[in-house]
């Protein structure tokens, strides 16, 4: 076991008044009260008598006298080489436990509406356990290869990722160069490294866009249904901006409907490569119509390139950004294809937006952590990312077919059926409309099945009942058990009105 560092700072003894004399008695009482109140816990180490005497600027004998008294009382214990510490034998009395509970009372200051709403956001975005059918959990064959660990050791120990001072708010240049080359080849994105800003994921990029692009009373198009991370921003953090929900069909966002609802909107937030959550790509006709509207209205398009790498049949459409680089803000992330805890994404911006984007990001988190940026840059530049994507594409395709077979085998089709789709890390399992998907999802999570309800992604007017079933390389037996449990849960909630 690692040795705990000796504690030198003891705030509880700051009330000692040397002008009153009897310093040893004051110190003894202060330390005794610190143990009683829980400021010092059983096993906590104490500074040596020499160190504490220097800190308090008193004779060492004064400290030894106080320590000896508390040792005699059994409050402290002492051993050769380990020093003095609060006795492990101490057990909190009911009075002490009551004191600690009473000392942490809820504040009587009422919370603002904003504070209460953010508390609800935390509940809604609580991460699911790493069990079937959680999305983007790197298990089994979908974990990054061992080269990731080797690069990490290399760059953190003696390379560019060693601890240093503040970094560049825009992100490490080598990573921006690697991303510019990668998105050019894989997504037909046209940009220079100077147009890329590294972010901790899509969420921060969406938030910054919502803050820098709009004036009061502007309107923005949001797909219906849409990623909750986007709609929650406009519900909770953006003031005086109207969110216009534009319906989605099998070709993607209905541009004509958007024009009827809000012809002068200032921007459209879209997921054209793989609509979230429904899964279809935006058709070429809709892409052309959306870009034509944006050009006519001088509006921005924010392109969240969700799951573009994981298409199981055919070739993906090129990005919208490649068709209109001056009007499209392209957002990507490595959380899905590598692992969510990496917290690295990127925004490809028209040049005039780079400075305001980075200016706000400085106020949020200054800059992204640099070590993993250097690791990721090497991972991309040496071709490992594309190899990894090819590998997990095959894995997810295999898992997808297996889950489809399990759903067809165990879940009654009159209660639940799958949305057609051929890409991405999740599928949509529609439920009969009388089944409450939020209740089903809650019951499933309590039964150790990681699944989400789809209805919160819709506007109230368009809500449908369904579940988001993530693909992950979990053991086949675990997935089968989970589908059997889910089938029972769905049938338990089959309560026609």
Q: Are 485 and 247 a contacting pair, CB within 8 Å?
A: no
Q: What are the pLDDT digits (tens) for 126-136? A: 999 999 999 88
Please compute the mean of the pLDDT values over residues 284-297 and round it to a whole number.
97
Q: Does pLDDT of 40 surpass 70?
A: yes
Give the Å distances, CA to CA, from 58 to 9, 17, 27, 28, 71: 16, 12, 11, 14, 20
Question: Percentage of the chain with pLDDT > 90?
Answer: 71
Please compute the mean of the pLDDT values over residues 343-363 and round it to a whole number.
97
- As a residue count, the chain comes to 497
Confidence of residue 471 (pLDDT cuts 50, 70, 90): very high
| Partners of 245 in the β-ladder | 222
CA contacts within 13 A on the Cβ side of 128:
24
Structure tokens at 258: 């958007």
Give the Å distances, CA to CA, from 339 to 135, 298, 335, 336, 344: 10, 37, 5, 6, 9
Confidence of residue 3 (pLDDT cuts 50, 70, 90): low
Q: What are the pLDDT digits (tens) for 170-220? A: 999 999 999 999 999 999 999 999 999 999 999 999 999 999 999 999 999
Confidence of residue 87 (pLDDT cuts 50, 70, 90): very high
Question: pTM value?
Answer: 0.87
């Amino acid at each position: 076991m690692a040795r705990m560092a000796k504690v030198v700072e003891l705030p509880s003894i700051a009330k000692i008044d040397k002008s009153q004399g009897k310093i040893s008695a004051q110190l003894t009482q202060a330390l005794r009260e610190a143990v009683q109140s829980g400021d010092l816990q059983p096993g906590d180490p104490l500074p040596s008598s020499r160190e504490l005497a220097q800190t308090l600027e008193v004779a060492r004998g004064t400290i030894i006298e106080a320590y000896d008294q508390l040792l005699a009382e059994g409050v402290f214990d002492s051993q050769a080489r380990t020093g003095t510490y609060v006795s492990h034998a101490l057990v909190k009395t009911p009075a002490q436990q009551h004191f600690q509970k009473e000392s942490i009372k809820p504040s009587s200051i009422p919370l603002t509406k904003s504070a209460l709403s953010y508390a609800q956001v935390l509940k809604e975005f609580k991460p699911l356990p790493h069990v079937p059918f959680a999305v983007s959990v790197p298990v089994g064959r979908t974990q990054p290869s061992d080269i990731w660990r080797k690069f990490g050791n290399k760059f953190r120990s003696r390379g560019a990722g060693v601890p240093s001072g503040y970094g560049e708010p825009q992100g490490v240049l080598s990573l921006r160069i690697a991303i510019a080359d990668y998105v050019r080849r894989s997504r037909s994105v046209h940009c220079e490294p100077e147009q890329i800003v590294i972010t901790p994921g899509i969420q921060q990029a969406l938030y910054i866009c919502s803050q820098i692009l709009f004036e009061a009373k502007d309107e923005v198009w949001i797909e219906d249904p849409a990623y909750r991370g986007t709609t929650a921003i406009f519900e909770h953090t953006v003031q005086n901006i109207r969110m216009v929900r534009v319906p989605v069909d099998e070709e993607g966002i209905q541009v004509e409907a958007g024009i009827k609802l809000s012809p002068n909107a200032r921007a459209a937030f879209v997921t054209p490569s793989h609509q979230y959550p429904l899964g279809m790509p935006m058709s070429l006709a809709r892409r052309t119509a959306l870009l034509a509207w944006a050009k006519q209205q001088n509006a921005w398009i924010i392109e969240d390139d969700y799951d573009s790498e994981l298409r199981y049949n055919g070739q993906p459409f090129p990005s919208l950004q490649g068709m209109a680089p001056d009007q499209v803000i392209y957002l990507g992330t490595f959380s899905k294809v590598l692992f969510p805890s990496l917290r690295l994404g990127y925004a490809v911006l028209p040049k005039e937006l780079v400075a305001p984007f980075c200016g706000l990001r400085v106020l949020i988190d200054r800059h992204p952590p640099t070590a993993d940026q250097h690791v990721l840059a090497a991972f991309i530049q040496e071709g490992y990312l594309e190899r990894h994507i090819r590998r997990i594409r095959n894995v997810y395709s295999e898992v997808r077919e297996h889950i489809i077979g399990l759903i067809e085998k165990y879940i009654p089709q009159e209660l639940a059926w799958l949305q057609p789709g051929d890409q991405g890390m999740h599928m949509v399992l529609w439920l009969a409309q009388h089944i409450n998907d939020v209740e089903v999802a809650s019951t499933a999570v309590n039964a150790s099945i990681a699944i989400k309800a789809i209805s919160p992604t819709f506007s109230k007017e368009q809500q449908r009942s369904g579940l988001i079933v993530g693909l992950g390389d979990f053991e086949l037996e675990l997935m089968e058990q989970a589908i059997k449990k889910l089938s029972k849960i769905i049938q338990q909630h089959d309560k026609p009105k």
